[in-house]
Structure 1
Amino acid sequence: MNRLVTTGCLTALVVLIVLFGTLASWLWYRHWHDGNVNSERAEKALVLILEEARDTADDTVRALDTTDTTDADILTEVIWRRTEAPVITYDASRREFTATAAKSVVYDEKVMIPGGGPVKVTRCFVFIYTHGPGHAWTSKVSERDDDVCRPGTQIGNRSRLALTYISSMYARDLTRTGIQDALDPTGRRSFDVKDVVRKGDTMTVSVLVSSSEATVDQCYRFTRPVRSDDGQGSATAVSASSCG
């Protein structure tokens, strides 16, 4: 009986060792496999971001080449619509625009336990557009540290917030003071309403949007219909070279 019990225990122990060994090998393989899959997906996402940045630069140059104007505001709007860059500066001496924007791509992370899912890959880019001799536009794209794009990302978020507020305001409140109080009730100076102009049934609001500590700012022009004093309306926004 003792011999049978000993033999049974040894058999059970061997079975457990084999099972644990098989499980450990499978877990190691899954960890290795999932890691390789995720690395490949991250690399593909990065390649896609770089391709999109170059395509954006090329598309913007084509749009600028077909824009027969030297007006900085119009050219800023053209660049903004193509790049979606929240911050665009203009150097008149060099006839050069600089647009700073963060670009993102999402991929699905593969994991064998809960906790995976969409992963966002973000890179910061600076687009430089120069109007050279012969009225031809050229572009240059460079990748920068995330810190370079951080103020612009904040300004982009705040400009969208301003768009929401201006769209929801009653027409009778769309005065310079009314908009300033609505956008910046605490006086942090994140928004500075520079001008409010009404022409017919359209209101145009120029707002200087600043990042924290006012390190970077950008002018935005918001346009919305005002068909009655009590009405609300969907506003639109464009980036401008200045609020003057």
Structure 2
Amino acid sequence: MVTRRANRLVTTGCLTILVGLITVLGVLVSWLWYRHWHDGNVNSERRDKAFASILKQARATADDTARALDTSGATDPDALTGVIWRHTEAPVITYDASRREFTAMAARSTLYDEEVMLPGGGPVEVTRCFAFTYTHRPGQAWTPRVSERDDDACRPGTEIGGLVRLARTRISHMHAEDLTRAGVQKALDPTGRLRSYDVKSALRKADTVTVTILLSSPDTTVDQCYRFTRPVSDDAAQGSTTAVPTPSC
């Protein structure tokens, strides 16, 4: 009799523990599901706000650039390209003379904080690709237009932007006597096998050297001409070399 009673107590105790474990497990699963649902909603909302912020900034940039084009009074495509670049910092800017239209391709990005249960959350970068189009009709103001493109449309321009930074750095560190067409070409393409840089000219005037280079994306689908300007003095060169896109070489 005592043994049976002890067995019942043990069985009852085990069942109680099992029910307790199942209850705790159920609560834990429910909590994990809620956190997953909650974090997903929060992240989705933050991501949408980040995208909306990027688009708002892109439209503001387009409007500011159009006003700058109107007030510049410039008519030369080279000067107009410079105005657009200063406001958009787009690495690729093309000009269609028949339509009197410029198109600047540029990627825009921002950060938002991602919510996660486990370590590894924090700032997440989101990027959008935009085409900034500026059209001018005789007797009218410049008309801006912003359109979103697939990320692949901005990739060649982003790569060209990297090539520009590299060329600017190397030209800044060159000796003044090497700032010739052949000298710059060798500095940018020591093996002569790259297709990314094609130095068109290197002209010295007064205390500066102006180097014109046609840069090509690695897949050679996009070209952009750039004008690099550097002081002749080696002491003044560091950090003072400029690079601006031009409509042609």
| CA distance in structure 1 between the aligned counterparts of 2:114 and 2:190, rounded to whole angstroms | 42
Deviation at 1:146, TM superposition (A): 1.6
> How do residues 205-216 of structure 1 correspond to structure 2 at under 5 angstroms?
205-216=211-222
Alignment match, 2:164: 159
Structure 2 counterpart of 1:223, from 213, 229, 232:
229
Q: Which runs of 4+ in 1 moved over 3 A?
A: none
| Aligned-partner SS, 1:85 | coil
Alignment match, 2:28: 23
| Aligned-partner SS, 2:22 | helix
Deviation at 1:83, TM superposition (A): 1.0
Q: Percent identity?
A: 69
Deviation at 1:173, TM superposition (A): 2.1
| CA distance in structure 2 between the aligned counterparts of 1:44 and 1:207, rounded to whole angstroms | 40
| CA distance in structure 2 between the aligned counterparts of 1:232 and 1:48, rounded to whole angstroms | 38
> How do residues 47-66 of structure 1 correspond to structure 2 at under 5 angstroms?
47-66=52-71
| CA distance in structure 2 between the aligned counterparts of 1:100 and 1:48, rounded to whole angstroms | 18
Distance 1:232 1:66, change over 3 A: closer
Distance 1:31 1:85, change over 3 A: same
Q: Per-residue displacement from partner, 1:58-81 (whole Å, max 9, x unpaired)?
A: 000010001112111110010011
| CA distance in structure 1 between the aligned counterparts of 2:51 and 2:233, rounded to whole angstroms | 47
Is residue 147 of structure 1 aligned with residue 174 of structure 2? no
Q: Is the 8 A contact 1:224 1:233 kept in 2?
A: no
Alignment match, 1:183: 188
TM-score (structure 2 length as normaliser): 0.92
Deviation at 1:185, TM superposition (A): 2.2
| CA distance in structure 2 between the aligned counterparts of 1:58 and 1:191, rounded to whole angstroms | 33
* Count of matched residue pairs: 242
Is residue 37 of structure 1 aligned with residue 68 of structure 2? no
| CA distance in structure 1 between the aligned counterparts of 2:12 and 2:172, rounded to whole angstroms | 81
| Aligned-partner SS, 1:213 | coil
Alignment match, 2:122: 117
| Aligned-partner SS, 1:115 | coil
Q: Is the 8 A contact 2:195 2:218 kept in 1?
A: no
| Aligned-partner SS, 1:113 | coil
What's the Cα RMSD here? Answer: 1.5
| CA distance in structure 2 between the aligned counterparts of 1:64 and 1:16, rounded to whole angstroms | 71
| CA distance in structure 2 between the aligned counterparts of 1:233 and 1:12, rounded to whole angstroms | 74
Alignment match, 2:94: 89
Is residue 172 of structure 1 aligned with residue 165 of structure 2? no
Is residue 203 of structure 1 aligned with residue 212 of structure 2? no
| CA distance in structure 1 between the aligned counterparts of 2:170 and 2:31, rounded to whole angstroms | 55
| Aligned-partner SS, 2:182 | helix
| Aligned-partner SS, 1:66 | helix
| CA distance in structure 1 between the aligned counterparts of 2:65 and 2:237, rounded to whole angstroms | 34
Deviation at 1:231, TM superposition (A): 7.1
Q: Per-residue displacement from partner, 1:74-102 (whole Å, max 9, x unpaired)?
A: 10010011111111111112211111111
Structure 2 counterpart of 1:194, from 194, 200, 211:
200
| CA distance in structure 1 between the aligned counterparts of 2:181 and 2:54, rounded to whole angstroms | 40
Which stretch shifts more, 58-67 or 105-114? Answer: 105-114
| CA distance in structure 2 between the aligned counterparts of 1:141 and 1:151, rounded to whole angstroms | 19
Deviation at 1:135, TM superposition (A): 4.6
**Residue ranges of structure 2 left out of the alignment (5+ in a row):** 1-5
**Residue ranges of structure 1 left out of the alignment (5+ in a row):** none
